[in-house]
Amino acid sequence: MSGLAEVKVKIPFGNKYLDAIFSVPEKKPTYGVILTHGAGGDMNFPHLVSLATYLASHGVLCLRFTCKGLNVAYRTKAFKAVLEYLKLCDDYKLSGVFLAGRSMGSRAAASVIRQLSQGDDDDDGFIQGLVCLSYPLHRPKLQSKLRDEDLLLITCPVLFISGSADEMCEKQLLEGVVRKMKAPKKIHWIDKANHGMAVKGRTADDVMEEVNAQVLSWLRENVQLQHK
């Protein structure tokens, strides 16, 4: 762990700045992950810090950022600004990036990928995939209205990590959406975990170890291995 560095940056967004932190691996990274939080909290939410540190300790650059706001369109714009910043960042010349988020942050990440793939400003293969931690497929007890429109239009690889007892992502409903998706996809269910990834009888660190290992092995499967 000693070789890891954390670098705080401010990323321009409209007439303000977003607070962000790079977790930088010891060796020059080839790939990066942009990571953001859910509706509450910020980039220092323990799950995000844990994942960022873990990925960086395994050679993946991680950039996590804070964007307060409950409007998905606003959060999506902020995510785009961070993506643009990383693409143009001279300090790290990356071959590709994965977009990742927890809960509402994963909705914003999905929306960015869908917009870029449909627009003229295609990202020329820079975006390698999407990681959804506790994707909020529906509001609690409102299973009739699914937030699946972006997911169905995405074509890059997608990893879902959700709790099997997530009150905002009923297991059968996510499995149904995933069957309809065009993209290569994988779901990893955390047994008995709720939306906050809490599991009775397991420590938060233990659950995060499972999450982190799943994310890393999926990233490794999905990067173009010739860059390794």
* Mean pLDDT calculated for residue range 78-107: 94
Confidence of residue 225 (pLDDT cuts 50, 70, 90): very low
Domains plus CATH for the chain? 5-225 (3.40.50.1820)
Confidence band, pLDDT 50/70/90 cuts, at residue 187: very high
- Per-residue confidence at 3, pLDDT binned at 50, 70, 90? low
Write down the pLDDT at residue 1: 46
User: What are the angstrom distances between the C-alpha of 161 and each of 26, 221, 228?
Assistant: 27, 16, 25
Inter-residue contact 110 to 154 (CB < 8 Å): yes
Residue 189 has pLDDT above 60, yes or no: yes
Q: Taking residues 163-175, what's their average pLDDT?
A: 96
Across 150-173, average pLDDT: 95
% of the chain surpassing 90 pLDDT: 82
Q: What is the mean pLDDT of the chain?
A: 92
Confidence at 82, pLDDT banded by 50, 70, 90: very high
Residue-level pLDDT at 123? 55
DSSP code per residue over the chain? -TT-EEEEEEEEETTEEEEEEEEE-SSPPSEEEEEE--SSS-TT-HHHHHHHHHHHHTT-EEEEE----S-HHHHHHHHHHHHHHHHH-TT---SEEEEEEETHHHHHHHHHHHHHHHSSS--TT-EEEEEEES---S-TT-TTS---HHHHH--S-EEEEEETT-TTS-HHHHHHHHHH-SS-EEEEEETT--TT---TTS-HHHHHHHHHHHHHHHHHHHS-GGG-
- At 101, is the pLDDT very low, low, confident or very high (cuts 50, 70, 90)? very high
- Across the range 80-89, mean pLDDT stands at 94
- pLDDT of 224 reads 58
Bigger pLDDT: 93 or 217?
217
What's the mean pLDDT in 117-131?
Answer: 77
Cβ contact 189:182 at 8 Å: no
User: pLDDT value at position 121?
Assistant: 56
Residue 226 scores a pLDDT above 60: no
Express as a percent the part of the chain with pLDDT over 70. Answer: 94
Give me the mean pLDDT over the 87-115 stretch. Answer: 94
pLDDT at 227 over 50: no
